[in-house]
Amino acid sequence: MGVLSGRRSMRSLGAAATALFLIAVPVFLVTTNVRVAFNSVGLYTYGFDKYRIAEVTEIPDPELRRVAEELVAYFNDDTEPLDISVSGQALYNQQEVTHMGDVKGLVRGVYWAQRGAWAVLAAFAVGGLALRRRAFIPGLLRGLRSGGALTLALLLVAGLAMAVAFRWLFYLFHVISFRNSLWQLDPETDNLLRMFPEGFWFDATMMIAVATVAEALLLAGASWLALRYMARREGTVRRSRRRRAAPRKRRT
């Protein structure tokens, strides 16, 4: 009875670990791409060029690039509050500066989610290999294949929703993510919205989604190919063993 109970417990533990691993795959891919986006000066300047921010704000392109670089630095250090000046004048007002502190906290949360997802993936892989060694590799590959497929399914649903109702989802995101109304800025006078209009966030979201889809396809496809290769190799080995084990006929 104790042995059966122990086996059931191990199966339950294995199932829970596998489920956690599958969830960690899309979380890691998405948070990694969000982190890359927030740290990409090129993405910021792409938006500045596309939406003619230099004309809207009357800030020259070289200064806009400097602002982008300072924003990236701000998200990655402990400096508070945000202090960016252009031509000797503060770029953002107090409401914008305080809101950016909230945004920074959200970005740091994404960083921690990425680290947590990576820790789950690494622990699952290292633990499984330590316990089962090479016998664990097919299971790991199936987990990666399923994780990639799960990522694609989730992004398909999310992509359709964003294509139909991005503005409403963007609004809902702010309501859920922030405990105050500081994010409700004036697009006519507040530089934060003038520099980063809704179109910029739509473009950035689509870029993150496309990058994640490409990575999920690569992950699922590579895992599938590796499993096929291993299955064919195992079949070849088995046939070879059967031929060697078969009795040889004597010649008369």
For 141-159, the pLDDT digits (tens) are 999 999 999 999 999 999 9
Residue type, 8: R
pLDDT at 198 over 60: yes
7 sits in the region (left: phi over 0; alpha: psi -120 to 50; else beta) called: alpha
What value does the mean pLDDT take over residues 90-119? 97
pTM of the model as a whole? 0.90
For 71-90, the pLDDT digits (tens) are 999 999 998 999 999 999 99
Give the torsion sign (CA, 195, 180, 78, 211): negative
What value does the mean pLDDT take over residues 15-41? 96
What value does the mean pLDDT take over residues 27-44? 98
Of the two residues 200 and 252, the one the predictor is more confident about is: 200
Domain boundaries, given as residue ranges, for the chain:
15-238
What value does the mean pLDDT take over residues 189-203? 96
For 217-248, the pLDDT digits (tens) are 999 999 999 999 988 877 766 666 677 776 65
pLDDT at 126 over 70: yes
Structure tokens at 235: 């079949």
Query: 213: pLDDT confidence band, cut at 50, 70 and 90?
Result: very high
What mean pLDDT is reported for the chain?
A: 91
Q: How far is CA 30 from CA 169, 206, 217, in A?
A: 17, 12, 13
The per-residue pLDDT for 10 is: 64
pLDDT at 2 over 70: no
Query: 252: pLDDT confidence band, cut at 50, 70 and 90?
Result: very low
The per-residue pLDDT for 233 is: 79
Q: Residue 28's CB: how many other CB atoms inside 10 A?
A: 22
Q: How far is CA 76 from CA 28, 38, 113, 159, in A?
A: 19, 10, 15, 29
Q: Are 82 and 97 in contact (CB under 8 A)?
A: yes
Contacts of 48 (CB under 8 A, 6+ apart): 54, 61, 64, 65, 68, 195
